[in-house]
Amino acid sequence: MVGKSPSMFFFLHKSVQWRRYFSREVKYMGSDNKPVISKKSLKQLFYNSMDFVIIDVEWPMGKGILCYYSSLADPTEANKQIDIIRQRALEKTNNWGKTAASDVKPYSEEELVKSVCSGQTVIIFEESQLMLTVSAPNTSGRTPSEPETEQVVRGPHDGFVESTQINLTLIRQKLHRKDLVVKSMEIGADTSTTMTYLYIDTIADKDVVKLFETKLEDVRDINILNTGEIEDYLEGSVYSPFPQLLYTERPDRVVFNLMEGKIALFADNSPSAMIAPVTFFSFFQSPDDFNGRVIIGSFFRLLRIISLVMAIFLPAFYIAVVSFHSEILPIELSKKVKLAINEIPYRPIFEAFILEVFIELIREASIRLPKPIGQTIGVVGGLIIGDAIVSAGLVSNLMVIVVALTAISSFVVPTAEMNMSIRILRFPFMIAAALFGFFGMAIGMMILTIHLLTLSSLKQPYFAPFIPLDTTRFMDIFLRSPYTKFHKQQKTFTFISKKKGRKS
Amino acid sequence: MRKVVLALLAIPSIFLGGCWDESQYKDVTIVPVMGITTSGGQVKEFFSYPTFHNDTISYTQSEGSGISGRSAREDANHRTMEALDFTHLEVLLVSSEIAKNELHEQLDMFFRSPRNRITSYLAIVEGDMEQYFKPPGDLNTEVADFYPELLRTAVLYSYITENTMGESVKILLDDTIDLSLPYLTINDNGIPTIEGIALFSHGKYTGATLKKQEAVLAGVMKKQQGKYTRLSFHWKERDSPITIEIINTRRKMKISNDRISVNYVINFSVVEFPNNNLNSKNIRRETENFLSAEIKKDFDKIIKKTQENKSDIIGFGRTVHAFHQKMWNKGDWSETYSTLPIEVNVTMKMKRTSIYD
């Protein structure tokens, strides 16, 4: 078809000229090897999709085929850009196709699919086997608003959105450093997801970055749509109850962590950033601590550590006391406890399970319901059924207090993943307490501690600063020490260099 | 194969709970007050405990008898709804007959199980044990609540020195010091009252007691005081009562080969003295001298009484055993103590008049 064109010679001549302009990129292909490019073949390439738009265009150098996905590209903006480029082409500017929003590449089906699928508008020049890609994406999406799961009292109220570009803007606006490195990697064999990761070059540990990159490299051929999927590939032990990567939708949290030398990973179309390597105690920090005053921040941080202990051990402790070790009850309290549990028909462990399941049901039900109905569920579930279950004699009122206190404590943990891990962890402890009393709890505690000590996040110790032990950092973990004091920068976990920097 | 073995071990362990050392709190009855006595060669025990029914607490009593304390306890279990549990035992009443013979034997069972509470109070009662569980007078409260509170208050006000079961047995088996336990009788109104302290010698109740103020002073001599230690005297010359509160006591013991001399320096504050005029130095001196003489008189009386009963409750034997082996080796300490000349000197020092003139 191309070969029969009367203006073939003109085009051939032109293509030689073009070749001079783009000699670095374009490999001249003989006219015999040229692939057939027509509107029909292109439509077939995109499976005759309805939103695939294909139009013939006139260009100073000849005919071209313009195509784009109407669902991804913004045609008005694309027209504006194309006008500018056409003008440049008429004026015969050097490298006329290269502007901030466009590029000229040699034509290949693969490259075409990639560009069109990423929302670019493409003009194909079949004669010269080149294509002009114009970036004019359809920018519909949320505006940065405060994430609902990570609200703070004091501090910035913005949050990440589904577009990585906007997310990067949010971070760059907060962190004016030239050593903030942003890198990206295309992942996926059939679909392609851009994984963007960033770190501060002068602070982040080189080995950790390298390890992170090799881990990403390993999953290059796996179709990943969300950061949640890549989490499994990056985590050291998938079956551990503890999350080894920190998720956040707060830009300020990402900035704090980047300043500590951590790596943040964004997946395109996902509003959450994934931070690694993290320690166990990173999950108990809230941006509120850093913004609040020293005494207040310290108080709340201590409160969270106490709530962690309560959320895991309180129901187990109660079960152990009433089924094994009633002698430790204070005498003043013993009669009240006895009165409360005397006529409960079954063992405390069943009692606890009934209530725990009940509370988990309320929580699970209210998450997905619209807010007004969610509140109703809370009132009906918490107050009415809670009261009825006690008066019916199915569960003792002490158990209601214990389980409610535990539920509240578990919600104090400021990160959603750790929050869930802790809620699940209390069940094995309850069973251990029901079987063996304090002895069972002690064994469970030992297993948990050993597990925490051996856990790692990107090969960095998870339970730092306990292992490796660094007592000087205890202050920063349990309290929020003043910024005016010297802080040891945890650049690497090997503690070779001491630097002044932001504390964790 | 290994997995199967592990599973076979792990799964049955879930069902172990019932036959492990579990004891559901809802299935036991806590016994706060217990009494031991003998009748007709058998050990008889009384229990007072709360029962819980329909969200209300009521109190009941039960008894058991057997050849030993433990068998009497098991016997009582035949008649109670739930098993009796002694992990919250607050007061153990022992009849004077048992105390005179075999107190240690009856206490043995409490030290054999880790679930027993050995911080419960021990008290000697005079007369029929059943009367103490069903007092003729109106207590206005339950027996199970009455005795623990009675003894707790007595310790607080130094009427008795704190004598828990664990401490008592320690002293009971000690050669260098003798035991003194709170002594209860039923008064004219039919209400159990702390009469004073019962004196022991060689681990057996001598039958002699120290009366109320003497018991308080014995506590001062031992330097074991509760939160408040108050003593009242009548000052004849000034025709006025005087009540003092002891702030602290210092004791210095001088032991030579055949005699002991003890110096007490006692700081006190005046809590009642209608005669007043304590702003005058002379009167203060006079008061101090009067009290020194009074208390020395009382101390001498206590020493005389304990020597008569060969009961070294103050614990002179401890110092003698530690530093004066020659005197200790003279023979049995109780015998030595009963004939030893002991000289007491008391210096009272008024630290507060408790009023501003």
Structural domains of chain B, ranges and CATH numbers in brackets:
26-220 (no CATH), 229-357 (3.30.300.210)
Residues A174 and A69 both lie in one domain: no
In a domain, A233, yes or no: yes
Contact B32 A331 (CB under 8 A): yes
Please tell me which residue of chain B has the smallest CA distance to A391: B55
Residues A119 and A158 both lie in one domain: no
Task: Decide which of A91, A114, A135 is a domain's last residue.
Answer: A135
Task: Decide which of A68, A101, A135 is a domain's last residue.
Answer: A135
Mean pLDDT value across chain A:
81
pLDDT tens for residues B112-159? 877 788 889 999 999 888 889 888 888 888 888 899 999 999 999 988
**pLDDT of residue A504 exceeding 90:** no
Q: Are B264 and B246 in contact (CB under 8 A)?
A: no
B27 touches chain A (CB under 8 A): no
The structure tokens listed for A442 are 């002690």
In a domain, A177, yes or no: yes
The structure tokens listed for A92 are 């015969």
Mean pLDDT value across chain B:
87
Instruction: Return the minimum-mean-pLDDT range out of A352-366, A402-416, A459-473.
Output: A459-473
**Cα–Cα distance measured from residue A43 to residue A65, given in angstroms and rounded to the nearest whole number:** 11
Q: Are B347 and B266 in contact (CB under 8 A)?
A: yes
Residues A305 and A415 both lie in one domain: yes
Angle between helices A294-323 and A348-368 (to 10 degrees): 140
Residues A302 and A448 both lie in one domain: yes
Please tell me which residue of chain A has the smallest CA distance to B52: A339
Task: Decide which of A105, A135, A165 is a domain's last residue.
Answer: A135
pLDDT at A326: 85
**Cα–Cα distance measured from residue A444 to residue A319, given in angstroms and rounded to the nearest whole number:** 14
d(CA B151, nearest CA chain A) in Å: 15
Q: Are A285 and A153 in contact (CB under 8 A)?
A: no
**Whether the complex's predicted ipTM surpasses the cut of 0.85:** no
In a domain, A345, yes or no: yes
In a domain, A488, yes or no: no
- Closest residue by Cα to residue A27 from A85, A106, A114, A89: A106
Contact B22 A437 (CB under 8 A): yes
Residues A303 and A219 both lie in one domain: no
State which amino acid sits at residue A220.
R
**Beta carbons within 8 Å of A288's beta carbon, 6+ residues apart:** A152, A153, A154, A155, A297, A300
- Closest residue by Cα to residue A321 from A311, A309, A330: A330
Contact B25 A436 (CB under 8 A): no
Contact A338 B23 (CB under 8 A): no
Chain B residues with CB inside 8 Å of A347's CB?
Answer: 17, 24
**pLDDT of residue A480 exceeding 90:** no
| Domain of A347, in residue numbers | 294-461
**Beta carbons within 8 Å of A376's beta carbon, 6+ residues apart:** none
pLDDT tens for residues A241-257? 999 888 888 888 898 88
pLDDT tens for residues B54-111? 778 888 888 899 998 888 888 888 888 788 888 888 999 999 988 898 888 888 888 8
Distance of CA A221 to the CA centre of its chain: 20
Contact B17 A434 (CB under 8 A): yes
Average pLDDT for consecutive 10-residue bins of chain B (357 residues)? 85 62 82 89 89 82 88 86 85 91 86 84 90 86 88 90 87 89 90 91 89 89 88 88 92 87 92 84 90 92 91 89 88 88 92 81
Mean pLDDT within A271-289:
85
Strongest mean pLDDT among A136-140, A289-293, B296-300: B296-300
Please tell me which residue of chain B has the smallest CA distance to A433: B17
Residues A307 and A445 both lie in one domain: yes
**Beta carbons within 8 Å of A270's beta carbon, 6+ residues apart:** A162, A226, A227
Residues A223 and A95 both lie in one domain: no
Instruction: Return the minimum-mean-pLDDT range out of A12-21, A305-314, B161-170.
Output: A12-21
pLDDT at A307: 92
| DSSP 3-state of A21 | helix
**Cα–Cα distance measured from residue A320 to residue B22, given in angstroms and rounded to the nearest whole number:** 9
- Using alpha carbons only, what angle is made at residue A400 by residues A398 and A406, rounded to the nearest 5 degrees? 105
Q: Are A123 and A65 in contact (CB under 8 A)?
A: yes
d(CA B265, nearest CA chain A) in Å: 39
pLDDT at B352: 87
Q: Bridge partners of B210?
A: B197
pLDDT at A402: 92
A334 touches chain B (CB under 8 A): yes
**pLDDT of residue A316 exceeding 90:** yes
Q: Bridge partners of A456?
A: A461
In a domain, A480, yes or no: no
Q: How many domains does chain A have?
A: 3
**Beta carbons within 8 Å of A457's beta carbon, 6+ residues apart:** A235, A236, A244, A245, A276, A277, A278, A279
Residues A74 and A193 both lie in one domain: no
Q: How many CB pairs under 8 A join A and B?
A: 68
d(CA A334, nearest CA chain B) in Å: 8
A127 or B126: which leads in pLDDT:
B126
Q: Are A121 and A73 in contact (CB under 8 A)?
A: yes
Instruction: Give me the percent of chain A exceeding a pLDDT of 90.
Output: 7
Chain B residues with CB inside 8 Å of A333's CB?
Answer: none
Q: Which of A326, A339, A434 is closest, CB to CB, to B87?
A: A326
Q: Are A201 and A179 in contact (CB under 8 A)?
A: yes
B144 touches chain A (CB under 8 A): no
**Cα–Cα distance measured from residue A110 to residue A123, given in angstroms and rounded to the nearest whole number:** 15
Contact B13 A331 (CB under 8 A): no
pLDDT at A29: 44
Backbone angles phi, psi at A320, to 5 degrees: -60, -40
| DSSP 3-state of B51 | strand
Strongest mean pLDDT among A4-8, A378-382, A492-496: A378-382
Residues A194 and A312 both lie in one domain: no
In a domain, A482, yes or no: no
**Cα–Cα distance measured from residue A341 to residue B340, given in angstroms and rounded to the nearest whole number:** 60
d(CA B26, nearest CA chain A) in Å: 5
**pLDDT of residue A1 exceeding 50:** no
In a domain, A483, yes or no: no
**pLDDT of residue A131 exceeding 50:** yes
Residues A381 and A255 both lie in one domain: no
Find residues 74-93 of chain B whose CB sits inside 8 Å of chain A: 85, 87-88, 90
Q: Residue A489: pLDDT band by 50, 70, 90 thresholds?
A: low
Backbone angles phi, psi at A220, to 5 degrees: -55, -35
Contact B50 A431 (CB under 8 A): no
In a domain, A238, yes or no: yes
Residues A98 and A173 both lie in one domain: no
A338 touches chain B (CB under 8 A): yes
A390 touches chain B (CB under 8 A): no
Residues A32 and A163 both lie in one domain: no
Q: Are B193 and B260 in contact (CB under 8 A)?
A: no
Chain A residues with CB inside 8 Å of B148's CB?
Answer: 331
Q: Residue A37: pLDDT band by 50, 70, 90 thresholds?
A: confident
Chain A residues with CB inside 8 Å of B120's CB?
Answer: none
B152 touches chain A (CB under 8 A): no
pLDDT at B138: 85
What are the DSSP calls for B331-354, one per residue?
S-HHHHHHH--EEEEEEEEEEE-S
**Cα–Cα distance measured from residue B108 to residue B124, given in angstroms and rounded to the nearest whole number:** 17
